[in-house]
Amino acid sequence: MKIAVIGAVAAGTSAAAKARRTDKEAEIVVFEKGTDISYAGCGLPYYISGVTPSRSEIVMNTAEDFKEKYNVEVRLQHEVTQIETDGKKLKYKNLNTGETGEYKYDKLIIATGASPIKPPFEGLDLENIFTLRSVESADQIKVALSRKETQKVVIIGAGLIGLEMAESFRELGMDVTIVELEDQVLPPYSKEMAEIVAEHLREKEVELILDDGVDHFEGEDRVEKVVTASGKKIETDLVLLSIGVKANSELAEKAGVEIGKTGAIKVNERLETNLKDIYAAGDCAESTDLLTNKDVWVPLGSTANKQGRTAGENAAGGDYKHYGILKTGITKIFDLTVAKTGLDLEEAEKEEIDAVAVKIKAHNHASYYPGTAPIHLRGIFDRENGVIVGAEVIGGEGSDKRIDVLATAIYNRMTAGELFQVDLAYAPPYSGPKDAVAILGMVAE
Ligand code: FAD
């Protein structure tokens, strides 16, 4: 049995490791066009700020480690250029030597991930305009930041990566401006919750330019100005473009693999594509929304790991399922934890749910115990049966456990009344006698 994997980050390495545990004998080869394997993409903002100082903490394995731990061969700087389904062959190019070759597989796992979107803005090829995805891209940003003339940074896009990076750049003493096309930060969040984050960013001296987009970039060799659609000219030494990612699905599409409406690869619960013996996992693949049963594409490391594990198990002859996601996400933006799960009001209404949003403000723990901080919870409930279908949490310490309790409640289709009834832990350093989740349930009921 020969198992080939394309891509060696979260999904690809999870798949290869799981395939090895399931089949001790198979030949497993991973092709990766980049220079690093199984790195923590999610840790890159902390690597750039120096919170996680060493590169080796971000890149958790080398190809040699992987070979030793799992007996899996990782071919770095090997780009797969074609999948030939007829002869079950991969064509690849060694980007280091220029050599080309073929590899015959029995089972194939596509884990090609996603790439940052880069619209063809005039001036995009100027120096010091970056996107952030790989460790190599983080290294380049670190070099640019280490030059003493780098003082001002403009971030394009106020999504999760843009806001995490605002914190990193401020920690390094940069002046930070964010330009966002929508009229709020964090466009997937409700306006009332996003406003709490915007206020916090302003307190941290991050300048926000909302409701305005990039028109073009100006500069001699290096970028010097971002010119917006409304005509603003923002002086800068560095630009981070973080306006979203797109699934790397072209290679699969050319081979006849079905692509879903989201632009990512269509898969079933076993992570099988429409083509026999070809699986897909991670940011290149779709998932199912557990609440609506629709195909969705929410590229996250948490999902990539689970999907990779499932695809690896099944490619090696097992029978695992990944049922889907609630799109749960969380991030740290300076002193705030910002998290979301399930449906928002608009999504619920599209599903013809008679939905209502309930927002409360509570405290993370007893007010007399040090470190007390406000915590905002916003739940989306189905008026007909009281079931919670979505939630957002923004606040200080302890916000993470509230979103996970709410995700578990949504997964189990719990009602507002049950949120009050559930026996959550209490002691003054951790909660109040009535936890914020119970208060949300009480108010919603
Ligand atoms: P990728 O990480 O994109 O890896 C795919 C690999 O495939 C790449 O290395 C690529 O070079 C390789 N490849 C592509 N095509 C070919 C080819 N033809 N031949 C050979 N190799 C190929 N997620 C969270 O859940 N929580 C977070 O807090 C979080 N924070 C993030 C912060 C940042 C700054 C970034 C960039 C991402 C963050 N993510 C987070 C997202 C998370 O990193 C991704 O979801 C995850 O890396 C996806 O893993 P993947 O293996 O599917 O794809």
Q: How many angstroms is it from 140 CA to the middle of ligand 1? A: 17
Domain ranges across the chain: 1-33+55-113+244-314, 117-239, 336-443
Q: In this prediction, does ipTM exceed 0.95?
A: yes
Structure token pair of residue 300: 């996250």
Decide: residue 260, CB within 10 A, 0-12 exposed, 13-18 middle, 19+ buried: middle
Helix, strand, coil percentages, rounded to 5, for the chain: 30, 30, 40
pLDDT in tens, 98-114: 999 999 999 999 999 99
pLDDT in tens, 189-222: 999 999 999 999 999 999 999 999 999 999 999 9
- Which residue minimizes the CA distance to atom 44 of ligand 1? 301
The answer to whether residue 275 scores a pLDDT higher than 90 is yes
Mean pLDDT of 262-291: 98
Mean pLDDT of 3-17: 98
Please state which CATH class domain 1-33+55-113+244-314 belongs to: alpha beta
3-state secondary structure of 311: helix
Q: How many helices (H) and strands (E) does the chain have?
A: 13, 27
Ligand 1 pocket list (CB less than 6 A): 6-7, 9-12, 31-34, 41-42, 44-45, 79-80, 111-114, 132-133, 161, 248, 251, 282-283, 299-302, 304, 331
Q: How many angstroms is it from 34 CA to the middle of ligand 1? A: 11
Q: CB–CB of 445/416 below 8 Å?
A: yes
Look at the block and give the residue holding tokens 């009229």.
Answer: 183
State the architecture of 336-443 in CATH terms. Answer: 2-Layer Sandwich (3.30)
- Nearest residue to 165 (alpha-carbon basis) of 209, 116, 206: 206
Q: Do domains 1-33+55-113+244-314 and 336-443 have the same CATH topology?
A: no
Mean pLDDT of 81-89: 96
Q: How many angstroms is it from 2 CA to the middle of ligand 1? A: 24
Alpha helices in 219-327 (DSSP H): 250-254, 301-315
Q: To test the ligand 1 pocket, which listed residue (13, 32, 246, 328) has its Cβ within 8 A of the most ligand atoms?
A: 32
Q: Which residues are catalytic?
A: 42
pLDDT at position 60 is: 86
**CATH no. for 117-239:** 3.50.50.60
